[in-house]
Structure 1
Amino acid sequence: MSEDLIGAGTGTGDDPALGVPGAPLARVAAVLGATVVGAGRGAGAVTVGGVIIAEPGDALGDLTGVLVLTAGVRGADAADQVGAAAGAGAAAVAVRVDTTGVPVAADEVPAAVRQCAERAGVPVLAVAAGLRWDQVETAVRGELARAAAAERGGGPRGDLYALAQTVASLTRGLVSVEDTGHRVLAYAGSADEADEPRRRSILERACAEPCLSHMREWGVYRRVRDGDEVVDVAARPELGLRRRLVVGIHAGPRPLGTLWLQEGDRPLADRSDQVLRGAARLAAPQLVDHYYLGDPDGRLRSREDLAHGLLTGRFNASALAVHLGIAPTSGASVVAVDLREEPDAGDAARRDARLAEAAGMVSVHAAAYRRNALVAQACGQIYVMLPEPADRAPAERPLLRWTNDLVTVLRGHTRTPVQAVVAGTAADLADIPVVKLRGHHGLEILARTPHRAVETHDRLVSPLMVREVLDVLDRHGGVRHPGLEALAAHDAAHGTELARSLLRYLDAFGEVGVVAKELSVHPNTLRYRVRKAVALAGLDLDDPEHRLAAMLGLRLMNRGSGAENGAPFFPH
């Protein structure tokens, strides 16, 4: 191999994989069925940002961050190549060794190679001698592309690797995307759990012919070409084949490819078939670009921007509908989702990444539920827009079921108390921002009760009405009840809880036993507090207007203390 060729692929301008954090060496090893020796425990933290094939005698330039494949030698004869690559700064060196199986056993690596690796402080990737270096290089570049996709961030962005990772996270399986020529375009999932047909497809970047023959014989490809049926392919242990689900990716009647899901060491998650169907719909525009050499990243980011414009009302809704492939006369149901992550839980970049990952999961579920669903982020929340035909009223019960399923999935993956509000249906697309605002306000109300996962805007109308009344009173600072202000001042001066006790008493319709238990006081103590509060504030609780004024006034003062409807009531 020429010196010029060795130099290519090590500069950031020539190798698009460089300049990113890189692919973990441990993952590369798992994909190849290789083992890592040398460099001690630190080998597990090594990443590679590029890959080259080098032969004995090649002049090696700066190989910082590069995995070097030692061509022309194998076993103990590769020791000198290991030392030369280490001297050039290589991140790791791959050596082919004779082995009895895959993965390669550490004791099958010649002692000369292990000793050289330890002296040079460079990890050695021991690869089965039966693998060709071009196969290894292809697999490594696939991992570099996967790592680059992960660095850009998951979520509904148009990157097939990011979409594959989202599906793998949701289903607990191993995912791959193939075009109609059975070439592997993207993949995700634990390499350690891959069966032999999948391992070969990743290494060769194409489905292996024996597996193809079986799938054709079983009628799998015929079934996925005919529609969006998710085909369940049973495990065939005698063929080394684990269970798989597969669905076709289509643009109208035209097949574009297939989306595969292999079962790993654990059973696939419930509703994995629905996840797969939604992901196939999201993958279709990207495969269109694959065939017609378009710009999937740019086009799908533009679609996200348009969806955000529809949500916020920045652009003409009818014009946006044309670009988004939605009938301009459509309405749309809106679902608002909040992850409820703690504000101080990590830095802003981490929160943004988690939100993007969650938005990707929401996109997959939404696409499975409704083909033309749109997902956008706003105000640190996620909004789903589900276009509805103008002549058909949406069914609330299925939408509630879907929203509950979605929140259950998100809670499981984010480990946060995710909540969602079914905000309602906009009569036409131009009204979506109004409905979005209902969802936003509904989430603020729902935050008071973390145990409630999902609510509808209609069921939150009462607290929302009270909130609007309080907003009006808040804007008119002169509307205050002097007796209640005197009551709050008394509590602050004497460390009592008369105001809080009075509001809880009014909220509970005078049920002394319930409120006394809540406040951990004797019922007679509560009665005394209420009598004293009424006397200090000058209230007549037999008068309904006095009761209403007291409830609104106390809530307004509680809001000013920063704890609307919650304890502690007032600072004291």
Structure 2
Amino acid sequence: MNDAALPGHAARRRRGTPVDTVVRRLADLLGPGPARCGPGGEVHDIVIAEPDEPLDALPGDGLSGALVLAVGARGPEVAAMVSAAGAAGAAAVAVRLPAPTAREGGGGGIPTAVRAAAERSRVAVLGVPPGVRWDRIAARARAALAHEQGDFGIGPDRSGDLFSLAQTVATLTGGLVSIEDAAHRVVAYAGPGDEADELRRLSVLGRSCPEPYLALLRRLGVHRRLREGDEVVTVAEQPELGARGRLVTGVSSGRRPLGSIWVQEGARPLAERAPQMLRGAARLAAPHLVDHYFQGDARARLVSREELSHGLLTGRFDASALAAHLGIDPSAGADVLAVDLRGPVDESGAGGSEAQRAEAAGIVSVHAAAHRENALVVQACGQIYAVLPTPPAPSAGSYADAEATLLRWTGDLVTTLRRLTGTGAQAVLAGRAERLADIPAVKRRGHRALALLARTPDVPVATHTRLTPALLVRDTLDLLDGAPDIRFPQVAALVVRDREQGTDLARSLLLYLDAFGDVGAVAQRLNVHPNTLRYRVRRAVALTGLDLEDPEHRLAAALQLRLDLDGRERERTAFPAP
């Protein structure tokens, strides 16, 4: 599984990446204080191997300078693979650590026999904790090499390189993903290695699709169909070739074919939305494959595009000039979606939060590209924003109809984010910008609405239209908070009296006003008898001089009560119940 078939391979072989640098890049996957033993060295390539593979017979450069991922090795097989990899010239071997109750020896969980083999073979050993998937280790390690060696891609902590894209598609489809160029060479892949069929093993090992399968694809007309459009083609299982069923779609720039993306079915059927995810991934893969062919500096181009997109979102640059550079019509409208993960999954700190947002941004990118062509996904203010250009010829119907469709799509996206990231992700449809120059204002609406939506974590998705009344109330309270001369003193005194005497007149009055005087509903919420609530309201009216028949009295009292009640109650009452 070396990189001999890839452009730029010779340059990478001249300059490797220190093992300890790779370990740092894998730190969030290997856990705090990752198990590590043996001498260091430089890593040039990532190789996935199993216990029964002859490690000294791989093509090209074999294991020279490789980080070997010992997939499937257990018990005595681990030490044997470490010895064999070291003898073949590997720089490091990643092995699965035993479960905590079965660990032998010390040194952070690496068994004594494995540590001894590492020292004898002069090879570094990295311990992979139980539960961490090998495909994530492989994708992150390859991205680390690309980042350190200046290869195509934008590094392990960004979502733009082909390996990260392949990993995102594998996660979303539940399959094993390969990205090939137009010469059928494998340039990126991801997915659980233990579910790979024989065809995938041969393709990844040799970095190209075997000729018998290519001949079959020509007979079936698969390549012709891929060139003719954005069709997702189903290729049935071929037992005689060791191939399970697959989905494939072409990647192109204009009329020029650039390559293809394949998804092999693994242990479980592919996700129902796998074809849509493939279409989105094909749109995202095109610029990367252009860089692959022309050996351009993809990192510089992608970072520039990201910065320009961020400028479009925040209004730092002229929208017309940015639109020309990004290939978007400046007079076109766009829907803006704001997403917040609501905190990192990784409890170790901010680094985990950034990595989690990068992973989520990749998921949003694939979904957005599948939903709308030329969609932009940008991270800003600790959140993720998707700018979805409106179709050139929108279908008949009102904006409300279009918003309802987009709301359903957003609901599916948030469900996916919650499932795959383990966070309480929420999203707000911030609205439609009629021109690209209006996007920053719509983005600010989304940011404010997300802050409000955080008060009801059980609500996954909302629209700015739905939140407008609550936002108006919150902004009004903020203005009143900054203007201490504007008050309803009698109602303010009621709140103070409650705090001094331990009564609950103010909150009872506020809930009574919010419920349009529905005594039964409010009494049930307060867990009191209806007569008790009636007494509290009469007492509050007597102490404040309120005229409940006067709408201005009711509005002023409700604002003052929201302003003066403690922050938690104010947050609850300033937002409509789900």
Q: What residue number does 1:267 align with?
A: 269
Q: What residue number does 1:515 align with?
A: 522
Q: Report the Cα distance in structure 2 between the residues aligned to 1:409 and 1:93, rounded to whole angstroms.
A: 30
Q: What residue number does 1:145 align with?
A: 142
Q: Is the 8 A contact 1:154 1:162 kept in 2?
A: no
Between 355-364 and 334-343, the greater mean CA deviation after superposition: 334-343
**Aligned CA distance change for structure 1 residues 342 and 522 (closer, same or farther; 3 Å):** farther
Q: What residue number does 1:14 align with?
A: 15
Q: What residue number does 1:566 align with?
A: 572
The answer as to 2:210 corresponding to 1:203 is no
- 1:31 maps to which of 48, 55, 64: 48
The answer as to 2:520 corresponding to 1:551 is no
Q: What residue number does 2:339 align with?
A: 337
Q: Report the Cα distance in structure 2 between the residues aligned to 1:516 and 1:93, rounded to whole angstroms.
A: 63
Q: What residue number does 2:73 align with?
A: none
Deviation at 1:66, TM superposition (A): 6.5
Q: What residue number does 1:485 align with?
A: 492
**Aligned CA distance change for structure 1 residues 12 and 390 (closer, same or farther; 3 Å):** closer
Alignment of 1:6-85 (within 5 A): 14-16=15-17, 18=19, 19-21=21-23, 31-34=48-51, 82=83
Q: What residue number does 1:164 align with?
A: 166
SS for the counterpart of 1:566 is: helix
Deviation at 1:181, TM superposition (A): 0.7
Q: Is the 8 A contact 1:333 1:425 kept in 2?
A: yes
Q: Report the Cα distance in structure 2 between the residues aligned to 1:549 and 1:528, rounded to whole angstroms.
A: 21
- 2:477 maps to which of 463, 470, 475: 470
Q: What residue number does 1:6 align with?
A: none
Q: What residue number does 2:425 align with?
A: 418
Q: What residue number does 1:528 align with?
A: 535
Q: What residue number does 1:408 align with?
A: 415
Q: TM-score, normalised by structure 2?
A: 0.76
Q: Report the Cα distance in structure 2 between the residues aligned to 1:154 and 1:53, rounded to whole angstroms.
A: 26
SS for the counterpart of 1:298 is: helix
Q: Is the 8 A contact 2:225 2:231 kept in 1?
A: yes
Structure 2: which amino acid aligns with 1:251? Answer: S
Q: Report the Cα distance in structure 2 between the residues aligned to 1:212 and 1:455, rounded to whole angstroms.
A: 48
Q: Report the Cα distance in structure 2 between the residues aligned to 1:250 and 1:89, rounded to whole angstroms.
A: 37
Report Cα offsets for 1:47-82 as digits up to 9, x if no partner: xxxx9767xxxxxxxx9x96699xxxxxxxx99x95
Q: Is the 8 A contact 1:31 1:192 kept in 2?
A: no
Q: What residue number does 1:502 align with?
A: 509
Q: What residue number does 1:371 align with?
A: 373
Report Cα offsets for 1:444-467 as digits up to 9, x if no partner: 232233332222222222212222
Deviation at 1:295, TM superposition (A): 1.1
Report Cα offsets for 1:284-307 as digits up to 9, x if no partner: 001111111111121111111111
Structure 2: which amino acid aligns with 1:311? Answer: L
Cα root mean square deviation, aligned:
3.8
Structure 1: which amino acid aligns with 2:192? Answer: S
Aligned residues: 490
- 1:282 maps to which of 276, 281, 284: 284
SS for the counterpart of 1:31 is: strand
**Aligned CA distance change for structure 1 residues 85 and 284 (closer, same or farther; 3 Å):** closer
Q: Is the 8 A contact 1:421 1:457 kept in 2?
A: yes
Q: Is the 8 A contact 1:182 1:207 kept in 2?
A: yes
Q: Report the Cα distance in structure 2 between the residues aligned to 1:120 and 1:415, rounded to whole angstroms.
A: 38
Unpaired stretches in structure 1, ≥5 consecutive residues: 1-8, 38-50, 55-62, 70-77, 95-114, 125-139
Q: Is the 8 A contact 1:178 1:184 kept in 2?
A: yes
SS for the counterpart of 2:336 is: strand
Q: Is the 8 A contact 1:359 1:377 kept in 2?
A: yes
Structure 2: which amino acid aligns with 1:566? Answer: R
Q: TM-score, normalised by structure 1?
A: 0.77
SS for the counterpart of 1:255 is: strand
Q: What residue number does 2:457 align with?
A: 450
Q: Is the 8 A contact 1:246 1:260 kept in 2?
A: yes
**Aligned CA distance change for structure 1 residues 162 and 295 (closer, same or farther; 3 Å):** same
Deviation at 1:247, TM superposition (A): 0.5
Between 393-402 and 511-520, the greater mean CA deviation after superposition: 393-402
Greater Rg over alpha carbons, structure: 1
SS for the counterpart of 2:417 is: helix
- 1:540 maps to which of 547, 563, 566: 547
Deviation at 1:239, TM superposition (A): 3.0
Q: Is the 8 A contact 1:93 1:122 kept in 2?
A: no
Q: What residue number does 1:58 align with?
A: none
Q: What residue number does 2:181 align with?
A: 179
Structure 2: which amino acid aligns with 1:34? Answer: P
SS for the counterpart of 2:48 is: helix
Q: Report the Cα distance in structure 2 between the residues aligned to 1:211 and 1:524, rounded to whole angstroms.
A: 81
Unpaired stretches in structure 2, ≥5 consecutive residues: 1-9, 36-44, 55-60, 71-78, 96-111, 122-136, 149-154
Q: What residue number does 2:4 align with?
A: none
**Aligned CA distance change for structure 1 residues 196 and 29 (closer, same or farther; 3 Å):** farther
